[in-house]
Structure 1
C-alpha cells in the first residue's frame, strides 16, 4: 500500500485475519463484539491511519452526526460564543459542527448550503446575512426535510424554529437609560432596515423617545453597515449638525466604538457631553476609555438553546412537529460611557 492509498475496512480485516463486517462493528462499538476484538481493531486502524468515510457511513445509517452552522462572520465574539454554546450541546449528543462564514453575502450563503448538502449534514443552524433579501436557498433546506434552526437574525417568512433576543426590549432599555441620565437629543445608528433585528431596535429607540415625550428627529437616525469606520463617519456627520446630539445609541458596539474615537479626537467629554451605548457587549467594551455601556445578548445561552431546538426537531415525529420561537431577554450593562456622575 502506498502512502497515497486510503486505508479501508477490508485492509484492517486482512491484517487481523477477520471479516470487514466484524471490523465495522468493532469501530462502531457494537455490543456483540468483544472488548479484546474492539481494542485490536482500533489499534490496527490507528497504525494504518484509517480515516472513516463519513459520507458512506451517513448513507448506511441515515445520519452523518454533523450539523452545519452558518454565521455572517466568525471573528465576532457574539457569533463565536453562540457557536461555542452550540458545540457544547452537540458534543453531548456525539455530534460535530461544520462552521461556515457567509460574510453577509447571499451568494456565499447559497453556496455554503449546497456544500452542506454535499456533506450530508443532519441539520443546518444559521444566522442570515444582512444582505439576504430572498430566502429560496433556505426554503430548499426545508423542502429536503432537513432541520433548519435560525438564531439571532430570524425571518418571519420561514416557518422554522428560531432563537432570538428581544431586540426591541434591549433598545428600549438602552434609550430609557440615556433619558434617565438627562439626555434629550439621542441619535441612533441603525443598519439595513429590512433585517428584523434592526427594525426592532429602531422601534425600541423610537418608542422609548415617544414614551418620554421626546420628538423623533430623522436627522439623528443614520443607517450604515455598523462597522468601526461606519461609526466614525456617522459621528462626524452628527457633529456637523447645527445642534449635535447629547447621546448615541448604536445597534452595534463597533459603531459605538467608532463614535467614541471621533468624540475623543474632538475633545468632547464622554458621557458628560455625549453619552454612548452599544449593542452586543463585545469583550472590548470593558476595556475602552471610558468602558462602553452595551446590551448583552446572552450569546452562550442562545447557542445552547439553539442546539437543543435542533435536537428536539431531529428526534420529533416529522408529521407532528411544530416550529418553536424562543425569545431571550437582553440585559443592559451600564458602564462609564453613559453613566453620568
Structure 2
C-alpha cells in the first residue's frame, strides 16, 4: 500500500472484497454479514483508516456536525452554553465543532466560511462585539442552512434566537440598588451594535425613571467591558469628580476592574459605593466582598438553543417563521450591595 491516508479501497484490496462492501460494512448495513463487518473493522483499525468526513457528508447530505461560534470559550457563560448544546446534540448523535471569534469580525467571517466548507448541518452563534455587517450569516440563511443565534443577537437577520431578558435583568439590578438607598448610579455599557447592551441600558434608564431619578449621561461609561476597561472606566468617573454611590456594569469582568480601582482609591464597598455586575461568572462569588450579579441561565440557554436548532433540522423548512425564546434571568444578591 502506498504511503498516505488509508482509503476504503486499501481495506478492500487487503480483504479481497469490493470497496462498496467495505463502505456498507463501515456504515453497519444490514446487507453485510456480521463476520464481514468484523473483518472490515479490524482491518480499518490495522490500517489506521480515517473516514473522509466531507465525502461522506456529500454522499448522505448530512454530516451530523454542528458549528458553534462563540466570542471566547474561556468565559464560564459561553462554555456553559456550549455544554448545554452538547448535552442535547450528543444525545441525538451529533457532534459539535467549537470555534472562537475572539470578538473579531474578520475572524467570525472566516470561521463561518470554514464551517460551511466543512459541510456542517447548521450553525449556532453568538455574535462578536465588533461585528456590524451580517452578510456572512445571511449567506448561511440564503443557502437554506439552519442558523440559530443566542445571547448576542441582531434584529437585522430573520433568524431564530435564544436570549435572556436582558432588560429585566438590568432593571432588577438598578431597582435593587435604588431600594438600597442609591441615587447616583454609574453604568458601564458597550457602544457596539449588540442588542443585549441596548436592552440593559433601557432597563437601567427605566428603573431610574420609575423611581423618579433623572438620567445623567455623565454617569455612563462605554467600553469593551473587559477587566482593564472596567478599571479605566472607574478611573474616568473618579477623575470627572462626579458624585456617585453605585456602579452597575453590564459585564462582571468590568465590575471586577471597577472594584480594583475603588479599593485602590480607598472607597469602601458597599458602605460608600455599591457594586453590581452581569453574568454570574464564578469569580464573583469569591471576591471581597462577593459581587451582586445577574445569572444568565447559561446551561438552560444551551439546551433551548439546541432544541430550537434541531426543530429547524427536523422541519427542514426554509420558510420557517423565526422563533425568539426569552429566558428569565435571576438576580443574585451578594455583599457588594448589602450594607447591613
Normalising by structure 2, we get a TM-score of 0.97
Q: Is the 8 A contact 1:130 1:192 kept in 2?
A: no
| C-alpha RMSD of the superposition | 1.3
Q: Is the 8 A contact 2:189 2:250 kept in 1?
A: yes
**Corresponding residue for 2:108?**
109
Matches within 5 A, 1:92-103: 92-103=91-102
Between the aligned partners of 2:252 and 2:56, the Cα distance in structure 1 is 44
Q: Shift in Å at residue 266 of structure 1?
A: 1.6
Structure 1 residue 167 corresponds to structure 2 residue 169: no
- Secondary structure of 2:247's counterpart equals strand
Matches within 5 A, 1:14-25: 14-25=13-24
Unpaired segments ≥5 residues, structure 2:
none
**Corresponding residue for 2:90?**
91
Matches within 5 A, 1:203-282: 203-282=202-281
- Residues 80-139 of structure 1: CA distance to partner in whole angstroms, max 9, x if unpaired? 111111111111111111111112221111111111111111101111111111111111
Q: Is the 8 A contact 2:68 2:99 kept in 1?
A: yes
Q: Is the 8 A contact 1:253 1:279 kept in 2?
A: yes
Q: How many residues align?
A: 340
Q: Is the 8 A contact 1:249 1:256 kept in 2?
A: yes
- Secondary structure of 1:32's counterpart equals coil
Q: Is the 8 A contact 2:144 2:318 kept in 1?
A: no
Matches within 5 A, 1:282-301: 282-301=281-300
1:231–1:319 CA distance, 2 compared to 1 (3 A): closer
Between the aligned partners of 2:165 and 2:233, the Cα distance in structure 1 is 25
**Corresponding residue for 2:339?**
340
Unpaired segments ≥5 residues, structure 1:
none
Normalising by structure 1, we get a TM-score of 0.97
**Corresponding residue for 2:177?**
178
- Secondary structure of 1:110's counterpart equals helix
- Residues 17-46 of structure 1: CA distance to partner in whole angstroms, max 9, x if unpaired? 322222111211223333332222212111
**Corresponding residue for 1:8?**
7
- Residues 128-173 of structure 1: CA distance to partner in whole angstroms, max 9, x if unpaired? 1111111111111111111111000111121111101110000000
Between the aligned partners of 1:182 and 1:147, the Cα distance in structure 2 is 48
